[in-house]
Amino acid sequence: MNAHDRVRRQQFVLQAEGYLELGMAQHALEALARAGDPETLSGHGLYLSGEALRSLGRFREAIEPLTRASQGDPGNIHIWLALGWCYKRVSRIDMAIESLEEALSAEPNDALVNYNLACYWAVANSKRQALGYLQKALDLDDQYRALIADEPDFDPIRTDPGFQALVRVTV
């Protein structure tokens, strides 16, 4: 690929990124299609493709480009979070948890990753794991406490005394 083609391809990737920021996922996919062979997209292009598909609710399709993107950038927690999101929505909670565990290995003190792991472990009905990750998320950023009441993922463990004690707000 010559320099002109590389620049042109990068322009399409940047267009896709802009479209995604504007909530125009289908336009983002179209821009990425104009970038050329999807098999040769950069890691960032693959991530954008996965994010566009995820935004369109095409979770199963999003897994492949996100997985490829994660292989090229294993320290990028945004890729792992997107993968976890997609796996959860295709009823692969085991893979969702695995994806977020990968994110956690890159950023162990990220409150969002810990909170989402708490949600996924609660869906898997593993109270001990869910409570451990929720405790860490709240320790890192207590603002997540405001999300708990409306989070349906916690329904399987909501009546557990340990959960109730953890989420009780102290004044």
List CB contacts of 41: < 8 A, sequence separation 6 or more: 13, 32, 35, 49, 65
In the chain, what are the domain boundaries?
Answer: 109-171
> 39-53, 71-85, 109-123: which range is least confident on average?
39-53
Query: What's the one-letter identity of residue 12?
Result: F
Query: What's the one-letter identity of residue 8?
Result: R
Asked if 151 contacts 119 with a C-beta cutoff of 8 angstroms, the reply is: yes
With 0.85 as the threshold, say if the pTM is over it.
Answer: yes
Condensed to tens digits (0 to 9), the pLDDT of residues 17-41 reads 999 999 999 999 999 998 877 677 8
List CB contacts of 66: < 8 A, sequence separation 6 or more: 46, 47, 50, 51, 54, 79, 82, 83, 86
Give the span between the Cα atoms of 55 and 50, in whole angstroms.
9
pLDDT of amino acid 1: 64
Segments in the chain forming alpha helices (H):
3-21, 25-34, 43-55, 59-72, 77-89, 93-106, 111-123, 127-140, 145-148, 161-167
What mean pLDDT value characterizes the chain?
93
SS3 121: helix
% of the chain surpassing 90 pLDDT = 81
Q: Is the pLDDT of residue 51 over 50?
A: yes
Q: Is the pLDDT of residue 171 over 60?
A: no
**First vs last C-alpha separation in the chain:** 63
Nearest to 130 by CA among 161, 157, 99: 157
